[in-house]
């Protein structure tokens, strides 16, 4: 496909996004954590469903980079940098950023943009598509440029205001506190003050002007008191802990929580965070003590029970792990993350059939997530159900935008199942869609 002259159509934007995602995987490093993936996805999807009918299929990524940045690629791909998540003070602030970026995509702002440097970003994105038909080195160069351009994409003043206004509305409709938008603008302003020479990328592309702040305050006021669901600060802090434990000064994380626990020894949230950090650091006896103490203080917390399940899985106490996961699912029945972890525990304990059942639940609850079908593929392989195994590996590749690999897995699966079985028919249908898409 050649890039068309003029703004891309919706179909072209979808294609650009898919190609961009596939190539971006080679150029960006992502935070490799199901917990972090699920956290951002959950916020994003809540906002999307509050924003009305959508043309695009959205995907969220967390780039492992301590810069304060985020960007949206036309067609539904949103990249948050771990540095931005680290600096957010509440989940509502993150919801504000995601709402803002979702509006850039939903409103097709890049196609409408007349802001600074509008053409080059668009043409570079089209280059991602062209890169496919070019030779190796040249293609990689073009994609690298496109990724760099997307990271710094900036929009006109009007489009930024539109994103602030509608983003705040959507997040409020999704049950987040729209004051998070103002909170994040303040965070951005502080960062600029702290870093006057090396201004963070997001501050460069999203300058905090008087006009923006005034507009955001007006919008928030007009929204009034909505149905705000309580902010899940625990999960944000846990996700920030995962990110910080990947950085060189990880020991300070444990020390900080230990100090806080010393001051508040009966606070289950702090005990939990300390235990979590200790587990990541590898201090399992201390982690066990603090997890169990936190549970004693407040047992009915699904996230805590799930983490206990993960902890007991690591120490191979499968009976205790099962009990904790069951409790987590009783408290919060439809959480795909819990099913994914339960599946991993069952797989580790050797109960492959039950593991497949847990992964299937995770896959049904989060059909856009590539992890559950990937595990399913491996488990069915071990169970000698090779047709099913190739099918789910194919699905997982599809969700990673690796169409060629998906086709190869589907074809292998089809050869084993035959075209006249129910599974074979499903695979044949997937292949048909994929091959049409290639044209």
Residues that bind Zn ion (CB under 5 A): 160, 163
Nearer to Zn ion, 62 or 153 (CB): 153
Shorter beta-carbon distance to Zn ion: residue 69 or 240: 69
Q: What is the nearest approach in angstroms of Zn ion to the Cβ of residue 68? A: 14
Nearest-approach distance from CB 155 to Zn ion, in angstroms: 5
Q: Give the Cα separation of 392 and 395 in Å (integer).
A: 5
Nearest distance from residue 383's CB to Zn ion, in Å?
47
**Cα-flanking dihedrals φ and ψ of residue 62, to 5°?**
-115, 110
Contact 394, 409 (CB under 8 A): yes
When the beta carbons of 165 and 290 are compared against Zn ion, the nearer one is 165
Helix (H, G, I), strand (E, B) or coil at 425: helix
Question: From the CB of residue 256, how many other CB atoms can be counted at a distance below 10 Å?
Answer: 15
**CA 432, 434, 437, 439 torsion: positive or negative?**
negative
Helices (H) and strands (E) in the chain, counts: 23, 3
**Closer Cβ to Zn ion, 203 or 434, answer by number:** 203
Residue nearer to Zn ion on the CB measure, 59 or 109: 109
- In the block, which residue shows the tokens 């020894």? 265
Six-digit token pair at 270? 């702090």
Considering beta carbons, is residue 205 or 361 the nearer one to Zn ion?
A: 205
Least separation in angstroms between residue 423's CB and Zn ion is 44
Minimum Å gap between C-beta 101 and Zn ion is 7
Residues near 332 by beta carbon (within 8 Å), at least 6 away in sequence: 302, 338
Helix extents (H) in 7-67: 10-27, 34-50
User: Shortest approach of Zn ion to residue 95 CB, angstroms?
Assistant: 15
Strand partners, 60: 78
């Amino acid at each position: 496909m050649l890039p068309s002259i003029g703004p891309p159509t919706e179909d072209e934007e979808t294609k650009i996004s898919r190609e961009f995602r596939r190539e971006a995987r080679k150029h960006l490093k992502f935070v490799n954590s199901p917990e972090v993936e699920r956290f951002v996805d959950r916020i994003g999807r809540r906002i999307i469903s509050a924003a009305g009918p959508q043309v695009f299929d959205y995907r969220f990524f967390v780039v492992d980079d301590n810069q304060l940045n985020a960007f949206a690629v036309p067609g539904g791909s949103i990249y948050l940098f771990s540095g931005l998540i680290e600096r957010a003070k509440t989940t509502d602030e993150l919801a504000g950023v995601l709402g803002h970026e979702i509006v850039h995509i939903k409103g097709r702002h890049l196609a409408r943009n007349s802001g600074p440097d509008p053409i080059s970003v668009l043409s570079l994105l089209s280059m991602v598509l062209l890169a496919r038909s070019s030779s190796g080195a040249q293609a990689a160069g073009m994609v690298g440029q496109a990724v760099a351009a997307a990271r710094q994409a900036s929009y006109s003043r009007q489009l930024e205001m539109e994103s602030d206004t509608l983003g705040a509305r959507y997040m409020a409709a999704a049950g987040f506190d729209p004051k998070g938008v103002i909170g994040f603008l303040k965070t951005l302003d502080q960062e600029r003050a702290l870093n006057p020479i090396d201004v963070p990328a997001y501050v460069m592309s999203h300058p905090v002007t008087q006009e923006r702040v005034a507009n955001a305050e007006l919008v928030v006021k007009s929204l009034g008191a909505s149905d705000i669901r309580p902010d899940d600060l625990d999960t944000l802090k846990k996700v920030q802990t995962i990110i910080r434990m990947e950085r060189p000064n990880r020991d300070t994380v444990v020390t900080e929580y230990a100090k806080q626990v010393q001051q508040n020894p009966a606070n289950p949230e702090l005990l939990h965070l300390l235990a979590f950090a200790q587990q990541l650091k590898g201090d399992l006896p201390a982690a066990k003590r603090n997890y169990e103490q936190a549970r004693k203080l407040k047992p009915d917390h699904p996230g805590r029970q799930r983490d206990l399940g993960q902890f007991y899985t690591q120490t191979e106490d499968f009976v205790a792990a099962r009990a904790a996961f069951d409790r987590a699912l009783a408290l919060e029945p439809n959480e795909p993350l819990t099913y994914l972890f339960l599946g991993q525990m069952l797989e580790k304990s050797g109960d492959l059939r039950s593991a497949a059942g847990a992964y299937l639940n995770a896959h049904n609850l989060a059909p856009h997530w590539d992890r559950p079908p990937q595990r399913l593929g491996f488990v069915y392989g071990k169970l000698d159900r090779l047709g099913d195994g190739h099918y789910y590996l194919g699905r997982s590749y599809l969700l990673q935008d690796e169409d060629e690999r998906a086709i190869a897995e589907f074809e292998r699966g089809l050869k084993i199942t035959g075209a006249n079985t129910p599974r074979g028919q499903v695979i044949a249908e997937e292949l048909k869609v994929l091959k049409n898409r290639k044209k």
